[in-house]
Amino acid sequence: MSEVAIRINTPEELESLRDKVISARDPDATVVSVCTGPGCLAYKSHLVAENIEAELEKHGLADKVRVSRTGCHGFCERGPSVVILPRQTCYLRVKPEDAEEIVKTTLVEGGVVERLLYEGSDGVKIELEQEIPFYKHQDKVVFGVNKYIDPMQMDDYLAGGGYRALAKALTKMTPKEVTEEVTKSGLRGRGGAGFPTGRKWDATSRVEADQRYVIVNADEGDPGAYMDRGILEGNPHSVIEGLMIAGYAVGSTEGYIYVRQEYPLAIDHVLYAIDVLRGMGLLGENILGSGFDFDIKVHKGAGAFVSGESSALMSAIEGRVGEPRPKYIRTSVSGLRGKPSSLNNVETMANVPLIIDRGADWYAAMGTEGSKGTKIFSLVGKVLNTGLVEVPMGTTLKQIVFDIGGGMRGGKKFKGVQTGGPSGGVIPEAQLDLPVDFDQLASAGSMMGSGGMIIMDEDTCMVDVARYFLDFLADESCGKCVPCREGIRQLVVVLKRITAGEGREGDIALVEDIAEMMKDSALCGLGQSAPNPVLSTLKYFRDEYIAHIEEERCPAGVCKPLIAYWIDPDKCIGCQKCAKECPVDAISGEKKEPHTIDMEKCTKCDTCFRVCPTKVQAVTKITRAEAEKLGAPRQVEEAGA
C-alpha cells in the first residue's frame, strides 16, 4: 500500500503533494475498477480482483495496469461490476473464473468480452458504463467518484481534489462565511427531516460554550436502505472532510462518527482514513497551519433503530442507553455531554466539500426551489434494476422507477413505491409523475426519509406492508413514552387481525384514531411518524383493507391465512417438480398425471408455486373461500405469533 506518510503543514504543501500524486499517474493508464461493495462481495468480487491481478502478473502487465478495489458502483443487481478505466468498459455479473478472459481479451488484445456486457431487454449489448440506461439517466455528483476510489488509498481521494475544500475553508474563509455558503447552497439534511444544514450549524455556533461537537450519523436504520453504507464504505474521506469543515464552521475541536456495528467494513475504512490523516497532520493540532485543531472519534452503534434519533444518538455516545429525550432544549444548545452539538447524516456531510469547493451557486443550480442538489436512493424491491441511484432533486418517480429502474421484474404491474422507511409512506401509481423532493413527498403523505425506495408490484399486499413496518417499530420503540409504546402495540394487534382475516367492522376507524393520537403526542420522531405507513396505505389502498376485512380476501395473495395453494388439474402436466421440492410432502400424484395438494398438510411455503414451470403455471393461489369450498380447514393465526 503506497500511502503518503509525509506531514502536510500548509495548503501549498497539500497542493504540491496533489501535483506529485497526479503527475505520477498516467491519465491514460488502464485501471481495472472492481466493485467490492456489499452486493458484489456477496458474489465473491474479492476473488475477481485477486484473479485479475494474478492474470495480469502472468501476462507481464502487473506494472502497467492497476486493479482498484472500490466501493459500490451502484448497479448491484448485476454485480459483481468491473469497470475498465479510462474507457469505461463495463462488465457485469463477473465471476472469478472470468478473470482470464477479461485480461486476455480486453487488457492484452484490446477487445471486448461480449458475454459480460450489459444486455437490455431488447437484446442489444452496451459496452460503455455511461450508456447503460441504468446509469445514463443519473447525475452522480456525490456517488459517481466511488469507482475511482479505493477507500484504502488516500492518493485516490487526493487525485480527485480531496481536502481542497478543507484548505479553502480553513485559510480563505471565516467559520461564519463557511456556514453562510452552506446556507446559501440550500443544502438540507439527508437523514430524514430535511432540516437546512447551514441553519443548524449557525444555531450551534451561536451558543456560548467551551466546547461544541459535530457528529456524523451513520446509523442508517431504515431496513432496506444502504446509501450511507455505500458512501462511507466507498469514500470515507468525503464524509470526514465534510465533518472537518462542519467542525470549523461551528467552532468544534472534536468530531464523532456514529456507525452501526453491522457495517464492519465502513468502520475499518473510516478508522484507517483517520489514521492516515493523523499521520499527515491533517487531523490534530494546527491543521494546515491555520490554527484549527480537530480530531475524530468513532463510536459503534450496537443495534437500535431509535438510537439514530439525534438526542438518543448523543446519549449512546456517552455510553448510556440510546433513548430520545424531550426536546424543550435543542441538541444544538445542549447535546453531547450537555454541549452544543450538531448532527448530520453521512450523505449531508459528503455534499459539504463539493459545496465549499465549487460554490453555493453551482450547487443551488441543481434541484428544485425548496430542495437543492441531488439525492441518492436505494432503489430496491420488485424493480428490474436494483441498486444505488443518484438523481437531481425534482426527478420524477416515473423516471426513477422506469427509466433507471427499467420497470417491474417479470412483466408485473407497478403498484406503489414506499419511501421514507418506517416513518414514510407508499405512493401509488397515479402519482408517478410526482417530482421527488422533500416537500412533494411530504405533501403526498410520505417523506424523503434517508432515501430508501422500495418498489412494489401487484403481488405486494399493502396491508401486509403496513403491518411489517409496525412490527418492526414495535421491536424498536424504546418504550419510554406511552403513545408510542402502546399505540404501536395496538396498531399491530389490529393489523395482524386484519391480515389474518379476522378483521372487524370499525377496525379502520380504530386504526385512524390511534394514529392521530400518536402523531400528536409521541415523544420523538419514531412514534410521531410510526403511523405514516398505515395512514398512507389507507389513503391510497383502502379497498385492500376492505377486501381483507369484509371478504376475507388478500387481493395480492400474500397473507397466508387468506390464501391456499391448489393445482389446476387441467394445467398440470405431472412433471413432479413440486412434489419433489415440497418440504412437508403435501403433494401427491403419479408421473404425467395431475397432482394434488393436501391442504391440511400444506404450510403455504410457496415452494410449489415457484417451481411450477412458467409455461405450465398449474399451481394457483386461491382465496380462503375457494379453499373452504374444496374442503380445506380454516387456518387461524397462532396466538401471539
Question: How far apart are CB 38 and ligand FES at their closest, in Å?
Answer: 6
Cell, residue 144: 459517481
Distance CA 123, CA 116 (A): 13
405 binds another protein (CB under 8 A): no
Q: How far is CA 217 from CA 29, 213, 255, in A?
A: 37, 13, 11
Piece of 16-24, 142-150, 305-313, 544-552 that binds ligand FMN (CB under 6 A): 305-313
389 binds ligand FES (CB under 6 A): no
Report helix angle 164-172 to 11-23, nearest 10. Answer: 160
Question: How far apart are CB 425 and ligand FMN at their closest, in Å?
Answer: 15
Report the partner that residue 192 touches, choosing among another protein, ligand FES, ligand FMN, none (CB closer than 5 to 8 A by kind): ligand FMN
Q: Which of 451, 309, 258, 444 is nearest to 373 (CA)?
A: 451
| Binding-residue pattern over the window 322 to 361 for another protein, x denoting contact by CB under 8 A | xx--------------------------------------
Q: Applying CB under 6 A, which of residues 77, 129, 155, 309 lies at the interface with ligand FMN? A: 309
Q: Residue for cell digits 401471539?
A: 640
Closest-CB residue for ligand FMN? 189
Q: Which of 329, 289, 331, 324 is nearest to 309 (CA)?
A: 324
Question: How far apart are CB 532 and another protein at their closest, in Å?
Answer: 14
Q: How many helices (H) and strands (E) does the chain have?
A: 26, 20
Q: Is the dihedral of CA 241, 244, 250, 256 positive or negative?
A: positive
613 binds another protein (CB under 8 A): no
79 binds ligand FES (CB under 6 A): yes
The H or E element spanning position 269 is: helix 264-280
Piece of 33-41, 417-425, 534-542, 608-616 that binds ligand FES (CB under 6 A): 33-41
| Contact (Cβ atoms closer than 8 angstroms) between residue 46 and residue 36 | yes
177 contact partners, CB below 8 Å, separation of at least 6 = none
Long-range contacts of 470-474, Cβ-Cβ distance < 8 Å, separation of 24 or more: 470/495, 470/530, 470/533, 470/534, 472/223, 472/305, 472/422, 473/305, 473/422, 473/526, 473/530
Closest-CB residue for ligand FES? 37
Question: How far apart are CB 489 and ligand FMN at their closest, in Å?
Answer: 17
Cell, residue 303: 443495534
The H or E element spanning position 55 is: helix 45-58
480 binds ligand FMN (CB under 6 A): no
Distance CA 49, CA 505 (A): 60
319 binds another protein (CB under 8 A): yes
| Contact (Cβ atoms closer than 8 angstroms) between residue 222 and residue 450 | yes
229 binds another protein (CB under 8 A): yes
Q: Is 506 exposed, middle or buried (0-12, 13-18, 19+ CB in 10 A)?
A: exposed
Q: Footprint of ligand FMN on residues 325-364 (CB under 6 A)?
A: 343-345, 348
195 binds another protein (CB under 8 A): no
Residue 540 identity: Y
Question: How far apart are CB 459 and ligand FES at their closest, in Å?
Answer: 17
Piece of 167-175, 213-221, 382-390, 591-599 that binds ligand FMN (CB under 6 A): 213-221
Taking residue 1's Cβ as centre, other Cβ atoms within 10 Å add up to 9
Question: How far apart are CB 22 and another protein at their closest, in Å?
Answer: 32
Q: Applying CB under 8 A, which of residues 38, 236, 255, 557 lies at the interface with another protein? A: 38
Name which of 363 and 469 has its Cβ closer to ligand FES: 469
Residues binding ligand FMN (CB under 6 A): 189-193, 195, 217, 219-221, 305-306, 308-310, 343-345, 348, 450, 524-526
Residues binding ligand FES (CB under 6 A): 35, 37-40, 72-76, 79, 81, 224, 387
Residues binding another protein (CB under 8 A): 37-39, 42-43, 76-77, 79, 221-226, 229-230, 261-262, 299-300, 302-304, 307, 316-323, 378, 380-382, 386-387, 418, 421, 452, 454, 456, 460, 465, 468-469, 472, 478, 581, 583, 603, 605-607, 610-611
